[in-house]
Structure 1
Amino acid sequence: MVQHLTKKLLSGMTLPGIALAAMLGIAAVPAQANAATLRMAWSQDATGLDPHKQTAFSSLRLLELIYEPLVRLDANLQITPAIADSWQFSADGKELTFKLNPKAKFQNGAAVTSADVKASFERILDEKTSAAARANFLSIASIDTPDSATVVFHLSQPDVPILTAMSDINAAIVPASEIAAGSIGTTTIGSGPFKLEKWDPNSKEVLVANKDWAGGATGVDGIDISVLPDETAILAALRTKQVDFALLNDPLVATLVPKEASLQLNRVPVLAYHVLQLNPSRKPMTELKVRQAISCAIDRQEVLDTASLGEGKVTGPLTIPALATDPNQLFCYTRDVEKAKKLMAETGYADGFSASVIGATGEPPTAAAEAQVIQSQLAEIGVKLDIKMMELNVYVDAWLKGDFDMAIALNGGRADPYTMYNRYWTKAGNLQKVANYIDDTLDGLMQKGRTETDPAARKVIFGDFEKHITEMSPWIWLYTSYSYTAQQKNVGGFVPVPTGSLFSLAKVTLQQ
C-alpha cells in the first residue's frame, strides 16, 4: 500500500500531509511548527557507533556530526582546524606538533586534552581494535604530551599524507576515560556539534545541539532523522514538507528533484568510486589473465549509463582531479571481448567458470543494477555470475572478512592517494584481507608516494601506481558519481563537498 501510494505521489498526486506522515513514520507536525529542529531523512542507517571501526558511509555521516578529528577538510579539500587550533611539522618531517583548541570539550563537559588525543591514537594503532584507518598511522613511533594542550607525534619517517589522514572521522578523538571503560561504540561522547540523544536502529536518530561545541553555536537546536529505506518515499515527504533536508543516493530519484519548484537539489562530484572487487585469492581469480579478461570484458560506460543514468564519469583508481590519469591510458578501458576470450583461453578457461558477486541493498542503491549489467557482460566470455544481494550489515561483515568471489562496492575517496589506498595496497595495510592482493611494485610505489614531498614527483609516482594496478586487475574500477542532497528552499547554509561529508549541517539554518 505504501509503495503504491508513493508511486502515485511521484507521478504528481498528493495526500494530506498528516496522512503521509503517518504512513512514512514521520511525526505529524505542521511545517515549521518547530523551526529550530531540522527534519531530515536518509535511506540507510548507521551500522554501528564506534568512529574508529566504521566503514559504511551511513555510519560515518552520522558520526561526523557527533565526533571530531584533530583537523578537517573544507569544500576545497584544504586542511582546516577542528579540535586542533594549529599544527606544525619539524624541518625533517619526522615530528608533527598540534596545539589544541582550549575551548574544545566533550559532550560530558570534560575538556579535550592531549591525553585524550594520545589515548585515541593508541587505540587506533592497537591491532585488537581493528580500526578502519590503522594503516594510515603506522609511521607514528611515539606520542608525547608535554602539556594538556600540546601533542607531539614522533614519526619513524617523513609522512606527507598523515595530516590528511587525521582529518577523517575514523581518526576521531574520543575520551580516554571512555576507552578505559570499554564503552566506545555503546556510548557516544564526542566533541562535535551535536549529541546523539536517541537511536532507534533502522528507524530514527535524534540529535540535539551541543551547547559547548568549540565551533560555536549550531544553526538549529537539533536534527530529527528518519530512516526511510525507499528513497521515493523520501521524495514524497519532501514534496509534502514533512522533511526539510534529505540525503539521496539513488540518481533515479535525485534527478526528479529539480522538477519540484519548492525543492533544491545539491549535486557535487565526489571522490568515492564504484568498483567491482575481485578476490585474487580464490580460483580462478588467482590467474592474472583471468582478472585481465574480466577487465577487458566490462564496458564501464554501459555500467554507468544503465545503473546511474550516466550521472558520473568512468574513472581509474585515483579520483582526485589533480592526480587522476586519463582512463584511456589505462589497461583495457576500451572494451575488447575478443581479447578477453583469448586471455581466458590462454589460462585454460575457454569455456568460462561460475562465480558469485555480493552487493549491499541500498548502499549504493545502484549495486543491483551494476551487478546485473556486469553479469550480462561477463556472460559473453563464459563467466556465469550469481548475484547475492545482502542487507548492509551482513554485506559489511562478509566484505571485511574478504568472504566473496567478487563484490560490488562503493568505496570512499580521500584527498591524498596514499591515505586513500594504503590500507588495501601496502603489505602492512589493515584491509589487505579485503584486497587479497599485493606485490612489491605496488607496495614500493605507495611507500615512495608517502615520503615524496614534491607534488610533480608524487603525480608521477601515483600515475605509475594507477597503470600498474589496473594492469594487475585485482579490482575493476568503474566510475565516480555525485553526492546528492535535497532541501526545502528555506534551508540555508549547507555546503556540499567532494568527500560527501554532511558536516556543514552544523551551520544550517531554517528561515521563516
Structure 2
Amino acid sequence: MSTQRRHGHRTHATVATALAAGLLAATLAGCGSGGEKTGDANGTLVFGISADPAQMVPWTATSTQSIQVLSQIYSPLLNTDAEGVPEAGLAELPEISEDGKTYTFTLREGVTFGDGSALDSADVKYTYEKIIDPASSASSASYFANVAGIEAPDPQTVVVTLKQPDASFVAGLTGVNTAIVPSDVDAKSLEAKPVGSGPYQFKSRTPNESITLTRNADYYAGKPGAATVEFRVIPDEQSMVSSLKTGSVDVAIFDNPVTAKTATSGQTESMTVDSLSYHVLQLRATSPTLKDPNARLAIQCAISREDVIDSAALGSGKPTGPITSPEYRSDAEAQPCPEQDLDKAKDYLAKAGKPNGFTLNLMTSQGLYSTAVDEAQNIQAQLGKVGIKVNVEALDSNAYVERWLAADFDAAIAMNGGSSDPNTMYSRYFTKAGSFNKVAGYSSPELDKLFADGIATTDTAARKPIYEEISQRLVDQAAWVWLFTPEMYVVANKRVEGLEERTDASIATLWKASVS
C-alpha cells in the first residue's frame, strides 16, 4: 500500500481563522491567589441539565443532555481543538493513501475502558461495524456511508478502506456518536450501564433526577480535576438559577440571555460562546400536509426570523441559512423570502390550491432547550396571518425524541448541532440513504449527486460552490425553514477552575475542571 504520512492533515485548515475571535479557549477565574490551581482533588462538580438524558448508547444519542453525559464517559477515535479542527485522540491523525481511499490509524498504547479491559483495534472495528449495521439505527451511520471495509491487522492499528474519497470522513470520527465501546460487552447492557474510556466512569443513575460519574484515574489524556461529576436534572430555569446562586449547582448552560444574566451574581460568572448550532422549523416533506413545495414555501415566506429571535430568543441570535460551517457558511439572505412577505406567502398558498390556508400540526419540546415552546407559539401567531392554523403540541423531552426519531410529525421545532464540515451536518438528513432522511422527509437524485461531489475533494475552494448549490436547493424547496444561530451562555460558580470556553458550549473538556 502506497501511503504518505500526513501528521498535520486537517480537512478544514482555515477554520481557525474564521472562528478565532469567538472560540479561543478561556479559563474561568479560580479562587486561589496568584493564579495557582487550588481545586479539591476529592471534590464533586455538579452540572445542571434541563432534561433527563435517556439515550445512553453513543450512536443513539441525539439530545444535548445525552451527548453531554456521554462525552464524559466515552472517547471518540479523534478529538477536536478549540476551533473544531480534528486532532489526535485515541489515535493519531491518520495516514491517508495517495488515492484518498485508505485511512490507517495508530492507536495509543495502554488505553483502558472503565471496566479495566484494554481498548484496542478490535473495539474500534466492532464499534464502527455496529454503527454501520442498519439494525443499530445509528444516528452516525451516514458518516460511514463510503466505508468499504474495516480491518484490525494488529491491536494498535485500524485500517479503513473507502469506496471513494471522502473529505468529511475524519470529521465524523470526532464526536460522541462515533465513540468507541468495548467489543466484549453486550451493546444492550450499555443502556443501563455505559462502559467507556472517557475521563469519568458511570456510577449510578436516578431517573429524572441525576446521573453520577466517578473519576477514571487511568484516563489517557490526564487526571480529571474532580473526583465526581454529578449531572443533576432541573427542568425549571428559575430553579436552575437558584441552584447556581446557592452553590448546589456549579455549572449550567443557558440559551436565554436574560436567564443567564439573572444567574450571574457575586458567586457566579457567565461566559458567552458562539455556536454552530441552528434553530429550525423542520417541515417533513413526505407528510401529506406538506408534500406540495408551494405549501412549504408559503410557510417560509410568512415567517419573520427576526421576530422569532426578538420574541422567543429575546434578541439572542442571528438569522441563518442551512450551513453554519465557517468555511462554507450559507448566505442567510439567499432564499425566496429573506424577510417576511405575507403577499408572497398567500401567492404560494394559491399555487398549492389552498388559498384560505390549511391546518399544520407542530411538535415542540419542553426541557430540551428553553426557547422551544416560545418559538412554536411565535410561529403559530405568524402563520395565522396568512390563514395557516397551527396546532402546537408541546411534549416532554423523551416523548419528543421518540416521535422525532419515528418521523411521527408534520412539523417540528428543533435545535440541531452544527459541524465544521457541511457534509457531516446534512448528508444524514438530505440524502436518500441518510440516517435521518425519514425524519427530514426530503431528498432528490440531484442532492445525492451534489453531496457525493462535495466529499470527492479536500480542496475547500472546489467544495464551496457545491455546498452553495446544496444550500440554495434546500431553501428553494423549503425543505426546512432555517431560523437562527443562537448564542450560548455558560454560567459557573467562581470556585470552578479550569473550565474551558468552546464553541456550542461543548463540555468535551469538562474533565479539566475542578472545584475549590
| TM-score for the superposition, normalised by structure 1 | 0.91
Structure 2 Cα separation of the partners of residues 450 and 269 of structure 1? 26
- SS across alignment from 2:205: strand
Alignment of 1:42-53 (within 5 A): 42-53=49-60
Cα distance, 1:210 vs structure 2? 0.2
2:491 is the counterpart of 1:486 = yes
Structure 2 Cα separation of the partners of residues 276 and 166 of structure 1? 28
Structure 2 Cα separation of the partners of residues 145 and 33 of structure 1? 41
- Asked if 1 retains the 8 angstrom alpha-carbon contact of 2:431 and 2:451, the reply is yes
For residue 327 of structure 1, what is the aligned residue in structure 2? 332
The verdict on how the C-alpha distance between 1:422 and 1:62 changes in structure 2, with shifts beyond 3 A counting, is same
2:307 is the counterpart of 1:302 = yes
Structure 1, unaligned runs of 5 or more: 1-31
For residue 14 of structure 1, what is the aligned residue in structure 2? none
- SS across alignment from 2:505: coil
How far does the alpha carbon of each residue in 1:49-85 deviate from its partner, in whole angstroms, 9 at most, with x for none? 1111111111011001000110011211111222113
Cα distance, 1:510 vs structure 2? 2.2
For residue 398 of structure 1, what is the aligned residue in structure 2? 403
- Asked if 1 retains the 8 angstrom alpha-carbon contact of 2:199 and 2:511, the reply is yes
Q: Which amino acid aligns with 2:455?
A: R
For residue 221 of structure 2, what is the aligned residue in structure 1? 215
- SS across alignment from 1:294: helix
- Asked if 2 retains the 8 angstrom alpha-carbon contact of 1:252 and 1:308, the reply is no
Structure 2 Cα separation of the partners of residues 305 and 341 of structure 1? 24
For residue 116 of structure 2, what is the aligned residue in structure 1? 109
Structure 2 Cα separation of the partners of residues 72 and 470 of structure 1? 32
- Asked if 2 retains the 8 angstrom alpha-carbon contact of 1:140 and 1:154, the reply is yes
- SS across alignment from 1:174: coil
Structure 2 Cα separation of the partners of residues 492 and 33 of structure 1? 10
Structure 2 Cα separation of the partners of residues 127 and 202 of structure 1? 30
Cα distance, 1:107 vs structure 2? 0.6
Structure 2 Cα separation of the partners of residues 91 and 476 of structure 1? 40
How far does the alpha carbon of each residue in 1:148-177 deviate from its partner, in whole angstroms, 9 at most, with x for none? 000000111001101000001100100000
Structure 2 Cα separation of the partners of residues 325 and 244 of structure 1? 37
How far does the alpha carbon of each residue in 1:399-441 deviate from its partner, in whole angstroms, 9 at most, with x for none? 1111111101111111100011111111110111101111122
Structure 1 Cα separation of the partners of residues 284 and 337 of structure 2? 19
How far does the alpha carbon of each residue in 1:225-268 deviate from its partner, in whole angstroms, 9 at most, with x for none? 2211112111111112222222334433113234x232111221
For residue 377 of structure 1, what is the aligned residue in structure 2? 382
Residue 235 of structure 1: which of 217, 225, 241 is its match?
A: 241
Deviates more, 1:347-356 or 1:323-332: 323-332
- Asked if 2 retains the 8 angstrom alpha-carbon contact of 1:87 and 1:96, the reply is yes
Residue 458 of structure 1: which of 447, 460, 463 is its match?
A: 463
Structure 2 Cα separation of the partners of residues 96 and 499 of structure 1? 29
Q: Which amino acid aligns with 1:83?
A: L
Cα distance, 1:103 vs structure 2? 2.3
- SS across alignment from 2:414: strand
For residue 414 of structure 1, what is the aligned residue in structure 2? 419
2:203 is the counterpart of 1:205 = no
Q: Percent identity?
A: 37
Greater RCO structure (CA 8 Å; 6+ sep): 2
Structure 2, unaligned runs of 5 or more: 1-38
2:138 is the counterpart of 1:131 = yes
For residue 9 of structure 1, what is the aligned residue in structure 2? none
For residue 344 of structure 1, what is the aligned residue in structure 2? 349
For residue 505 of structure 2, what is the aligned residue in structure 1? 500
2:73 is the counterpart of 1:77 = no
- Asked if 2 retains the 8 angstrom alpha-carbon contact of 1:51 and 1:185, the reply is no
- Asked if 1 retains the 8 angstrom alpha-carbon contact of 2:40 and 2:515, the reply is no
For residue 190 of structure 2, what is the aligned residue in structure 1? 184
- SS across alignment from 2:185: helix
Cα distance, 1:500 vs structure 2? 3.2
Q: Which amino acid aligns with 2:398?
A: N
For residue 159 of structure 1, what is the aligned residue in structure 2? 166
2:108 is the counterpart of 1:97 = no
Cα distance, 1:40 vs structure 2? 2.4
